């Protein structure tokens, strides 16, 4: 059974078909890329999978269970985490607190956990902190825990977002253009981190505009153009596909 499966998924915004009958199958442990020109519908696919928008038609299944219409919070709890195309950090909070927020969906204490503190809540708080620090170390940010998020260099802010997503203990991690705006050195560090996450047994669903970036790390690459999937396969085959080349050069 595939980990994540999209079956003829469509979403319309008024007259615009942003995602048009897309089929996609992601197997556990793979790095699946989704590429395509700007406006192709890549981020919208993530918004559909994470429950921000319900599809107009089609089904999205996670481990064989339909997740259409589920709320984002519940989808996160099932084991799907994401980062956003534009950085969404709490700039005035510490690096550690930004990650702890990502752990919230696993918390039993509820919103009043911070006020009323029976021993079980204190224990849980400690566990949240430990796990958040592990996620920071995974992203080489362990020594930045007490800094304000806004003081991190850009490449580290992007890795902090990944650390926060990892704090929800996902089985699949959705990364929306994680390398955007990074310099070559920052990109190299990021590639290493993405590979490490996969070695931990996670599945990665990677949206990228930059074709070169995904070719080196992806097991499979799907290509969207005007909402339609025009190619899907191993990176070398997709790279040579004339329809893909035409989409990138602009027909
Ligand atoms: P990509 O991530 O591939 O660059 P997007 O998924 O962000 O593309 O957008 C695909 C298309 O859907 C674009 O034309 C965009 O303007 C449109 N779109 C995305 N979200 C909305 C929305 N909430 N309302 C209306 N149009 C939207
Ligand atoms: Mg996008």
User: What CATH number is attached to the domain comprising 208?
Assistant: 3.40.50.300
More confident residue, 104 or 97: 97
For ligand 1, atom 13: residue with the closest CA: 39
pLDDT reported for residue 126: 87
100 inside domain? no
Residue 114: band (very low, low, confident or very high) from pLDDT cuts 50, 70, 90:
low
Shortest-distance ligand to the CA of residue 180? 2
- The encoded tokens of residue 108 equal 């039993």
| Tokens standing for residue 23 | 């089929």
Least confident of 33-42, 168-177, 207-216: 207-216
Is 238 a residue whose pLDDT tops 80?
Answer: yes
247 in ligand 1 pocket by Cβ < 6 Å? no
- Owning domain of residue 224: 4-79+170-249
pLDDT (tens digit per residue) in 155-183: 999 999 999 999 999 999 999 999 999 99
pLDDT reading at 107 higher than 80 = no
Look at residue 70 and tell me whether its pLDDT is greater than 90.
Answer: yes
Q: DSSP states of the chain as a string? A: --SEEEEEEEEEETTEEEEEEEEEEE-TT-EEEEE-STTSSHHHHHHHHTTSS--SEEEEEETTEE-TT--HHHHHHHTEEE--SS----TTSBHHHHHHHHHGGG-SS-TTTTTS--HHHHHHHHHHHHHHHHHHHHTT-GGGTTSBGGGS-HHHHHHHHHHHHHTT--SEEEEESTTTT--HHHHHHHHHHHHHHHHTT-EEEEEES-HHHHHTT-SEEEEEETTEEEEEE-HHHHHH-HHHHHHHH--
More confident residue, 153 or 114: 153
Inside any domain, residue 50: yes
pLDDT of residue 213: 85
In a domain, 15, yes or no: yes
- pLDDT of amino acid 145: 97
pLDDT attached to residue 111 = 52
Residue 38 lies in a domain: yes
Does 130 map to a domain? Answer: no
pLDDT surpassing 70 at residue 112: no
Give the pLDDT score at 22.
98
Express each pLDDT in 190-202 by its tens digit.
Answer: 999 999 999 999 9
- Quote the mean pLDDT of the chain: 92
- 138 within a domain of the structure (yes/no): no
Residue 135 lies in a domain: no
Contact 43 CB / ligand 1 (< 6 Å): yes
Q: Is the pLDDT of residue 135 over 80?
A: yes
Total domains in the fold of the chain: 1
What percent of the chain has a predicted confidence (pLDDT) above 90?
Answer: 78
pTM of the full predicted structure?
0.93
Choice from 37, 41, 229 to test ligand 1 binding pocket (greatest atom count within 8 A of CB): 41
Q: Which pairs from 243-250 meet CB under 8 Å and 24+ separation?
A: 247/36, 247/37, 247/40, 247/223, 248/37, 248/211, 250/37
**Residue 144 maps to a domain:** no
Sheet containing strand 65-66, edge to edge, reads 16-26, 4-13, 57-62, 65-66
């Amino acid at each position: 059974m595939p980990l994540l499966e999209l079956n003829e998924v469509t979403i319309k915004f008024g007259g615009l078909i942003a995602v048009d009958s897309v089929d996609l199958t992601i197997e556990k442990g793979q790095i699946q890329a989704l590429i395509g020109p700007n406006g192709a519908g890549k981020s919208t696919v993530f918004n559909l999978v994470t429950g921000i928008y319900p599809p107009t038609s089609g089904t999205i299944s996670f481990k064989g269970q339909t997740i259409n219409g589920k709320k984002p919070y519940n989808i996160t709890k099932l084991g799907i985490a994401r980062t956003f195309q534009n950085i969404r950090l709490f700039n005035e909070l510490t690096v550690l607190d930004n990650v702890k927020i990502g752990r919230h969906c696993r918390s039993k204490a509820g919103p009043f956990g911070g006020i009323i503190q029976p021993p079980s809540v204190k224990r849980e708080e400690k566990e949240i902190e430990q796990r958040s620090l592990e996620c920071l170390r995974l992203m080489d940010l362990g020594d930045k825990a007490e800094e304000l998020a806004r003081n991190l260099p850009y490449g580290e802010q992007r890795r902090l977002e990944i650390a926060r997503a990892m704090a929800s203990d996902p089985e699949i991690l959705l990364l929306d253009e994680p390398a955007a705006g990074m310099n070559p050195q920052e990109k190299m560090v990021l590639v290493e981190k993405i590979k490490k996450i996969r070695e931990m047994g996670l599945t990665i669903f990677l949206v990228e505009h930059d074709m070169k970036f995904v070719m080196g790390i992806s097991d499979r690459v799907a290509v969207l153009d005007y909402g339609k999937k025009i190619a899907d396969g191993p990176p070398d085959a997709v790279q040579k596909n004339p329809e893909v080349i035409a989409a990138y050069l602009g027909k």
